[in-house]
Chain A
Amino acid sequence: MPEPSDRLYTKEHEWVRIEGANATIGISQHAQSALGDIVYVELPKPGAVLTKGKPIGVVESVKAVSDIYAPISGTVTAVNGAVEDDPAKVNADPYGDGWLAKITVADAGESATLLDSKAYDELLKAEGH
């Protein structure tokens, strides 16, 4: 299934949907599927300053702990409390209800290094998924 084209992706399988100065961050369909049943999500606090490529939290499945990396630099304005309470939402709807954090974007120019949905689809194919 093609990835949504309204957002950008990282090689580490995060997504970011940029709307003007604001952005929403999550993990991809492939990421949630590869992890399996997600049981715990640890998110940054509102006000936290994120640096592109640096760890900002973790997603844990029954057997695995995975870092989440900031797809883009910015300041956290909100986190998704619903997925902290019910992490399975990330499995069920990684591109919708399973979003992780909202930020104000520090440097929109950084998005040039991210993958569009077509490039991300190709990455998944190249990785054999």
Chain B
Amino acid sequence: MLEPRPVTVEIGAARTPLYDIHVALGAKMSPFGGFLMPISYSSIIDEHRAVRTAVGMFDLSHMGQFVVRGDSAPEWLDSLACNDVATMRPLQARYNIFTNDNGGAMDDTIIYRFADYWLVVVNASNAPKMWRALNAAKRGDVTLDDRTQRSALIALQGPRSLEYLQPLTDVDLSGVKYYYATTGSVAGMPAEIARTGYTGEDGFELFVAAEHAPALWERLMRDAARVGLLPAGLGARDVLRLEAGMPLYGHELDENITPLQAGLDWAVKLGKKFRGREALAAQAQTKAFDRIAGFVMEGKAPARAGYSVYAGERRVGDVRSGSPSPSMGGKNIATVLVPAQHAEPGSRLNVEIRGTRHGGVVVPLPFYKRKK
């Protein structure tokens, strides 16, 4: 048994500035997006609970950080991504998707508008591809800077994040609205402070210079007992985002899955021009496309990514993500990619697990919504 995933290290697996700290904390490390990343420090269930009830702290320094400058930057980004960019207000953050000519997702991203530059945060696994694509598409006075190596990203996520972080910063955090950002200092270190995240909870993402990251992490850990903060790994993060109905690139979105199929209609602005718009406009007309749906298994066996989904005797799609859900009392939740007629809540489908079919039912996304 064991070896749930290959232990061989990816060729060229990189380390974030916090790698030594993760190892010292006893984290289980695994290759992810070209980096050796902490999957879990203590227990995924405990780390998940910390984020849902207190604070969890994540190292997200593997994510790509591209700085875009130039007067034409917002219009240029608007031409490549399906959600609006130019309408963003100063210091606003917005979820977006870079689309290909077929409307498929090249990557999903959060774009931040700072005073005189735009910060585009991309998935680590897609960073090399997006760096090439953005440079190839560059025009006008746009300049691009890949600052990933120079900049770390530490996220505090959970209902007590503001309370925990406030004594350590000169910024009035209550003045930073959800999906806005600001610049200031945290523990004496200059930082971009964004009220964004990927867990379904309130929280802050802190961008700091790579050389400051270890000191900032240690400082943020020092008062952990005050609120029950735990360092949390990518294992808990994946469960948290799935419960919150947020897509993970390579699962609910990829080059062949469009934002409309992923249920991200709210982020697809067909009224503007962008790469892939025509394909998405045509798809929006047909409505007869396979789409991502939430799914809850009835039995004890977890559905996992890649398992086949059946309607009666007919294979109609596959599981894109699946995990037991602590926020749903341990029920096995999943996303499935299935034809529209099977994607309606209440639709009964079967998942094939090691040769046996197990029943479940389509439910609306998200599985979990925080109390405001």
Contacts and interface: CB of A to CB of B under 8 A. Distances in A.
Interface of A: 12-14, 27, 31, 34-37, 39-40, 42, 58-69, 84
Given A37-B44, A40-B301, A40-B324, A66 B354 contact: no
Contact of B4 (A64, A68, A69): A64
Contacts, number: 60
Contacts of B1: 12-14, 27, 31, 59, 66-69
A40 B5 contact: no
B4 A65 contact: yes
Interface of B: 1-5, 28, 39-40, 43-45, 235, 238-239, 300-302, 304, 323-324, 330, 354
B40 A36 contact: yes
A60 B322 CA distance: 12
Contacts of A36: 28, 40, 43-44, 235
A63 B301 contact: no
Q: Is the interface of A mostly helix, strand, loop or mixed?
A: strand
Nearest to B304: A65
Contacts of A63: 4, 39, 44, 235, 238-239, 323
A60 B302 contact: yes
Contacts of A64: 4-5
Nearest to A30: B2
Contacts of A59: 1
B344 to A, nearest CB: 28
A106 B101 CA distance: 61
Contacts of B323: 62-63
Contacts of B43: 36-37
A62 B4 contact: no
A34 B44 CA distance: 12
A-B complex: 10 closest residue pairs judged by Cβ atoms:
A64-B4, A62-B44, A66-B1, A39-B324, A37-B45, A63-B235, A13-B2, A68-B1, A66-B4, A37-B43
